[in-house]
């Protein structure tokens, strides 16, 4: 298994390999507990942004594989500020079995991978969230029984999560329909390269969807835009009236959710919501990913 940076470079077969192993490990913990591939090894978590699910899920996965984590959080400053990334990557590679980065710039992940001699995993960057997307695919496959032929409607900001889903879903035969306000959607070139669809009307986008997905309107680092974004995205709130157009669909959100903005409580806590199972599956896909990269 080659080192993974972003889902645009991963094949459909590799995605399925990760999902299949995650499913196997989730169903039978002995498959990883009896094979402690990280015994005596340490994984470094280099996080420029605060985290709940990414940190907890990676630390738990490493622990379950017999290893340890060292956490370098936001209080340590931006990666590359105190010392050059080339030096950080080369020195840390002598200590660590792998790197997980949660950073602002995509270029930080690429630069770290260029100089590190150990696997570098993108735990989140401004334009990518590949581990989230892998967990989402696992959840969709569990809830709907397949990926091929499904319609996934993403409503709201065309952000890093949506971008990673756009890279992954078409590869496994699913249709991604994105509905965003003008100025907050993907370029025509990106749409053409991925094969996704853009629909300006969120109700039309959601109609008969197998999966309805949304995310916060304002991501970390965009706080100064929050007021403007809230006004712009009002028509894109996923509520009971909107979900009525996808009566058989499941609702997904990568969390944290701003209840009352992109989603209301009736949907978030309703019978179609699978967000807690979705959050759990971050652990399973990341444990599988670590297994494949480090075994």
Q: What is the pLDDT along the chain (295 residues), one digit of tens a residue?
A: 444 446 888 999 999 999 999 999 999 999 999 889 999 999 999 999 999 999 999 999 999 999 999 999 999 999 999 999 999 999 999 999 999 999 999 999 999 999 999 999 999 999 999 999 999 999 999 999 999 999 999 999 999 999 999 999 999 999 999 999 999 999 999 999 999 999 999 999 999 999 999 999 988 778 888 899 999 999 999 999 999 999 999 999 999 999 999 999 999 999 999 999 999 999 999 999 999 999 8
The pLDDT score that the predictor gives to residue 6 is 64
Which domains does the chain possess? 7-129+282-294 (3.40.50.1370), 131-278 (3.40.50.1370)
Dist. CA 76–CA 73, nearest whole Å? 6
- Cβ burial of 145 (10 Å; 0-12, 13-18, 19+) is exposed
Res 1: pLDDT: 43
Output the pLDDT for position 221: 75
Inter-residue contact 101 to 79 (CB < 8 Å) = yes
- Residue 189, φ and ψ in degrees, nearest 5: -65, -40
Per-residue HEC secondary structure of 71-112 comes to EECHHHCCCCCCCCHHHHHHHHHCCCCEEEEECCCHHHHHHH
pTM, rounded to two decimals: 0.96
Q: Please name which of 203, 202, 212 lies closest in space to residue 249, comparing C-alpha atoms.
A: 212
- pLDDT score at 96: 98
* Beta bridge partner(s), residue 155: 179, 214
Torsion sign (Cα): 278, 284, 288, 294: positive
Closest alpha carbon to 212 in 285, 125, 144: 144
> By CB neighbour count within 10 A (0-12 exposed, 13-18 middle, 19+ buried), where does 31 fall?
middle
Buried b (16+ CB within 10 A) or exposed e, 6-20: bbeebeeebbeebbe
Query: Catalytic amino acids?
Result: 102, 129, 132, 215, 254, 282
């Amino acid at each position: 298994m080659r080192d993974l940076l972003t889902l645009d470079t991963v094949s459909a077969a590799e995605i399925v390999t990760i999902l299949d192993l995650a499913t196997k490990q989730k169903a039978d913990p002995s498959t990883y507990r009896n094979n402690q591939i990280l015994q005596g090894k340490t994984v470094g978590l280099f996080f420029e942004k605060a985290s709940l699910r990414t940190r907890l899920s990676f630390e738990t996965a490493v622990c379950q594989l017999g290893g340890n984590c060292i956490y370098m959080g936001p209080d340590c400053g931006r990666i590359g500020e105190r010392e050059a990334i080339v030096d950080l990557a080369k020195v840390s590679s002598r200590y660590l079995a792998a790197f997980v980065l949660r950073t602002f710039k995509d270029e930080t992940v690429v630069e770290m991978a260029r100089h590190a001699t150990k696997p570098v995993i993108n735990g989140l960057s401004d334009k990518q969230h590949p581990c989230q997307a892998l967990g989402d695919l696992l959840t969709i496959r569990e809830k709907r029984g397949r990926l091929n032929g499904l319609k996934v409607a993403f409503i709201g900001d065309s952000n890093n999560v949506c971008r990673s889903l756009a890279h992954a879903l078409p590869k496994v035969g699913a249709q991604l329909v994105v509905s965003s306000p003008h100025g907050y959607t993907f370029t025509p070139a990106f749409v053409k390269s991925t094969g996704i669809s853009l629909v300006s009307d969120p109700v039309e986008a959601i109609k008969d969807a197998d999966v309805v997905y949304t995310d916060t309107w304002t991501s970390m680092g965009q706080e100064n835009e929050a007021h403007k974004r809230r006004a712009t995205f009002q028509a894109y709130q996923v509520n009971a009236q909107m979900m009525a157009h996808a009566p058989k669909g499941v609702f997904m959100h990568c969390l944290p959710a701003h209840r009352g903005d992109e989603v209301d409580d009736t949907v978030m806590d309703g019978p179609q919501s699978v967000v807690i199972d979705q959050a759990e599956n971050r652990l399973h896909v990341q444990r599988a990913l670590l297994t494949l990269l480090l075994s």
